[in-house]
Amino acid sequence: MTVIASTETSQSKADAGSVSPATPPVVGFATSPDRYRHCRLEVDGEVATVTLLVDEHGGLVPGYELKMNSYDLGVDIELYDLVQRLRFEHPEVKAVVMTGGLDRMFCAGANIRMLAQSTHAWKVNFCKFTNETRNGIEDATANSGQTWIAALNGTAAGGGYELALACDQIILVNDGSSAVSLPEVPLLGVLPGTGGLTRVVDKRHVRKDRADLFATKSEGYRGGTAVEWGLVDATVSRNAWDEEIGRRARQAAASSKRPSGAEGVRLTPLDRKDEGDTIAYPYVTAKIDRSGHRVEITVAAPGEAPPADAEAVLAQGVDYWPLAVTRALDDLILHLRTNETELGIWVLRAVGDAERVMAYDAQLRELAGDWFVNEVRHYYKRTLKRLDVTSRSLIAVIEPGTAFAGLLLELALACDRQYMLEGVYEDRDDGAVPATIRLSESTGGDFPMGNGLSRLESRFWGNEDDLAAALARTGEPLDAAAAVELGLVTLALDDIDFEDELRIVLEERASLSPDALTGMEANHRFVGPESMESKIFGRLTAWQNWIFIRPNASGPDGALRRYGTGRKGDYDLKRV
């Protein structure tokens, strides 16, 4: 058995005062096992064990203690990193057991004092990131052959139970006191923030009247009732605990198609340079325009042809172009979303050799059965989903030299609008040729959105003939006229009007209410059917967003503010 990382004991960063909610810290999302303060990872052949042992004094900001294995954003950053490393660095792992390191306590959920002192934006981004991490756990079970098993060695409350709900199996210790619960409604006047309500009925298939009882009973349920209702899969006595959890892990591992004996790929630190208002990675650059409240993001095509085969792809590791681009975009999206809240407009461009992009696109499909290429594909899918649910206006600009083709075209299709230059800039003697875009086989659904549709299907929802017409041109270089005819861009303009039109569009967008834009964009992006994921990010997040700022929750006499004082929230009883 190998201990990969263990919780460090360190001096408290907190002090007697509290952080000003108006000045949250700049958050970095890069970490590694040797820096973990809250998680312990052990790998024993095909089975990994993740133990949550939160450092009470290891909060991301001062003002609260992470007691009873409660968590804040810093804890979840470690968990996200751990999920990623298990998928890329440990191909031998086929089952993951997640348990708690405290006696009779698995996890008490999100730290209430942290939530009470945080700004509204901080709370919303916190919930969004934790949702994405839970979805990543489910994705690992579904697409990586790593089955996650929640071994609840004690009570799992609120976000702790939501963490368990992301796992494929939930086993609760039968000790007469340990329970599962979602106490947010009765105790805090808010909703479970990371999909608990949705997963209980949509994933666990708990009957809706029982779900209603469960979500309004602060102490939750344990033992036979929890099993009968479907809240957990089994309860096990302490004297049979280790044997049963081991049996289930071995059984899950035996059904996995993940390779044995494969060499993992180490996720080395990102090569990121921050210079003033420019953030640069090897293939991704972001330039911030603070006066315009926007950021210009440019993704570069690869400089070389794809490696020859799966062995050569693996040898490149983190330098494999699709993975390098994905890691950079993932880090950039998280940084901008959390730390640059006033940059409401993201302008996306792709530049370089589109033929090489198409070659990599084809390779990702051809080698989809290879474990490493499979992980890269699903990581890119998850990163695009992160972009989809980001509350920013997304504008794609398509000019000569564009590399919006194949998998990079997904970035343009994720945008709210696409502007394409017709022809070239006549006043520039640079030998440019008119821009073209190209659909590929992957555009048809290799990287689905949270609603289960491809971005092309979402674009043409209810217009099957338009969808078919676009797909019929897969592989063709499409100039501005063809792109407009097929409905693949919002507007195509010649060089006389293009730059002025784009400037006006960006200025107009910056003048609109960010709140209204967030609601509008989310409504337009997620058309068609609902999935469990779209409900969590759409319906649940919208309600939670609103409830968080209601006086009944966050007012001076609200339940969230009064929690722990011995006084219940003083509610305005009018229904809205």
Beta-strand pair 147-152/169-173:
parallel
Tell me the CB-side half-sphere exposure of residue 499, using CA atoms within 13 A. 6
Q: What percent of the chain has pLDDT over 90?
A: 82
Q: What is the tens place of the pLDDT at every residue in 33-83?
A: 999 999 999 999 999 999 999 999 999 999 999 999 999 999 999 999 999
Identify the pLDDT of residue 549. 86
Cβ atoms within 10 Å, residue 201: 18
User: Is it true that 2-8+40-254 and 274-525 share their CATH fold?
Assistant: yes
Q: What is the pTM of this model?
A: 0.94
Q: What is the tens place of the pLDDT at every residue in 377-420?
A: 999 999 999 999 999 999 999 999 999 999 999 999 999 999 99
Residue from 95, 215, 99, 92 nearest 154 by CA: 99
pLDDT over 50 (residue 155): yes
Question: Worst-scoring range by mean pLDDT, 108-117, 256-265, 275-284, 556-565?
Answer: 556-565
Question: Cβ distance 518 to 341 under 8 Å?
Answer: no
Sign of CA dihedral 243, 244, 245, 247: positive
Coil/strand/helix, residue 269: coil
Give strand pairing partners of 296.
287, 347
Q: Would you state the structure tokens that stand for residue 105, as one six-digit string?
A: 């306590």
The residue-averaged pLDDT of 360-367 equals 98
Identify the pLDDT of residue 13. 34
pLDDT over 90 (residue 541): no
- The residues annotated with a catalytic role in the active site are 162, 184
Report the first-to-last Cα separation within the chain, whole angstroms. Answer: 56
User: Domain extents for the chain?
Assistant: 2-8+40-254, 274-525
Beta-strand runs (E) in 118-251:
147-152, 154-157, 169-173, 180-181, 234-236
Q: Model confidence at 193, in pLDDT bands (50, 70, 90)?
A: confident
pLDDT over 50 (residue 14): no
Identify the pLDDT of residue 8. 39
Identify the pLDDT of residue 20. 41
Identify the pLDDT of residue 24. 65
* Packing angle of the helix pair 321-339, 120-143 (nearest 10 deg): 150
CA–CA distances in Å: residue 485 to residues 293, 304, 468, 491, 494:
32, 33, 13, 10, 16
The residue-averaged pLDDT of 507-516 equals 95
Residue from 429, 436, 426, 431 nearest 494 by CA: 426
Q: Model confidence at 521, in pLDDT bands (50, 70, 90)?
A: very high
C-alpha 146/C-alpha 233 separation (Å) is: 18
Fold of domain 274-525: 2-enoyl-CoA Hydratase; Chain A, domain 1 (3.90.226)
Cβ atoms within 10 Å, residue 571: 15
Q: Model confidence at 15, in pLDDT bands (50, 70, 90)?
A: very low
Please tell me the total number of residues recorded for the chain in this structure.
576
Q: Model confidence at 1, in pLDDT bands (50, 70, 90)?
A: low
| Of the options 3.90.226.10, 1.10.260.40, 3.60.20.10, 3.40.190.290, the CATH number for the domain spanning 2-8+40-254 | 3.90.226.10
Q: Model confidence at 566, in pLDDT bands (50, 70, 90)?
A: confident
Beta-strand pair 95-100/147-152:
parallel
